[in-house]
Amino acid sequence: MALLQLEAGQTVAILSDIRLELSRLGIELAHWPIERTPKIAPLLAAEILNETQKEELLCAFDERFEDQKRRYGYQARDLVVLHSSVPNLENLLKIFDKCHTHADDEVRYIIDGTGRFGFVAPDGKQMLLTVEAGEYIRVPANTEHWFVLDENRRIKAVRYFTNKDGWVANYTGTPARF
Ligand SMILES: [Fe+2]
């Protein structure tokens, strides 16, 4: 289950309360249960996937995004696989772990593992959201945020983009306080 930490030391664990808190920033969070069919279960369990295996997993979840594609105009998708055995993991993580914005939405459907998104509200307050497999998040374009792995050091997330070539992080220099 998702967990939201606020700066006052408060923790929000009830999904409807988390959604309310995030909606103030325009962020959507939904629970999309994963059906671990015999076909995809081994792919979900794997630490590293090749491009063919990634595509197989992506196809298994394509239908879920039909509505989002129509509504938000997403044109491209990929699967990000992060695990302690992925070569160059620490350098990869450095792209996401500092406060940044971008002109595209940040759309993630976590299909394996866990991770943490930090958000900076327009008033400067920060919050940290832990997400796990079966959770979908849409962070609107230009929202200041960051992403880190947690102690599991493992996540697989489907990403959607309106323009994959245009995904460029603008680092804001805000220090993350979590
Ligand atoms: Fe981002």
pLDDT tier at 167, thresholds 50, 70, 90: confident
For ligand 1, the distance from its centroid to the CA atom of residue 59, given in whole angstroms, is: 23
For ligand 1, the distance from its centroid to the CA atom of residue 139, given in whole angstroms, is: 9
> For position 15, what pLDDT does the model report?
94
For ligand 1, the distance from its centroid to the CA atom of residue 171, given in whole angstroms, is: 10
Which helix (H) or strand (E) segment holds residue 20: the answer is: helix 15-23
Q: Is residue 176 part of a domain?
A: no
What are 76-123's pLDDT values in tens digits? 999 999 999 998 999 999 999 999 999 999 999 999 999 999 999 999
Global pTM reads 0.96
Q: Is residue 178 part of a domain?
A: no
pLDDT tier at 166, thresholds 50, 70, 90: low
Q: Across all residues in the chain, what is the average pLDDT?
A: 95
> What are the angstrom distances between the C-alpha of 170 and each of 30, 90, 98, 145, 175?
27, 20, 10, 11, 14
> For position 19, what pLDDT does the model report?
97
**Ranges of H-type helices in 24-167:** 41-45, 51-61, 66-72, 89-93
Q: What is the CATH number of the domain that holds 126?
A: 2.60.120.10
85: tokens are 């055995």
Q: Is residue 163 part of a domain?
A: yes
For ligand 1, the distance from its centroid to the CA atom of residue 96, given in whole angstroms, is: 6
Which helix (H) or strand (E) segment holds residue 116: the answer is: strand 106-120
Query: What percentage of the chain carries pLDDT values higher than 70?
Result: 99
Query: What percentage of the chain carries pLDDT values higher than 90?
Result: 95
* Domain range for 22: 3-171
Q: Is residue 109 part of a domain?
A: yes
The number of distinct structural domains making up the chain is 1
For ligand 1, the distance from its centroid to the CA atom of residue 103, given in whole angstroms, is: 10
For ligand 1, the distance from its centroid to the CA atom of residue 77, given in whole angstroms, is: 15
For ligand 1, the distance from its centroid to the CA atom of residue 152, given in whole angstroms, is: 20
Q: Is residue 177 part of a domain?
A: no
pLDDT tier at 164, thresholds 50, 70, 90: confident
14: tokens are 């009830």
For ligand 1, the distance from its centroid to the CA atom of residue 13, given in whole angstroms, is: 24
For ligand 1, the distance from its centroid to the CA atom of residue 17, given in whole angstroms, is: 23
For ligand 1, the distance from its centroid to the CA atom of residue 39, given in whole angstroms, is: 31
Q: Across residues 8-22, what is the average pLDDT?
A: 95
For ligand 1, the distance from its centroid to the CA atom of residue 38, given in whole angstroms, is: 32
* Whether residue 154 has pLDDT greater than 70: yes
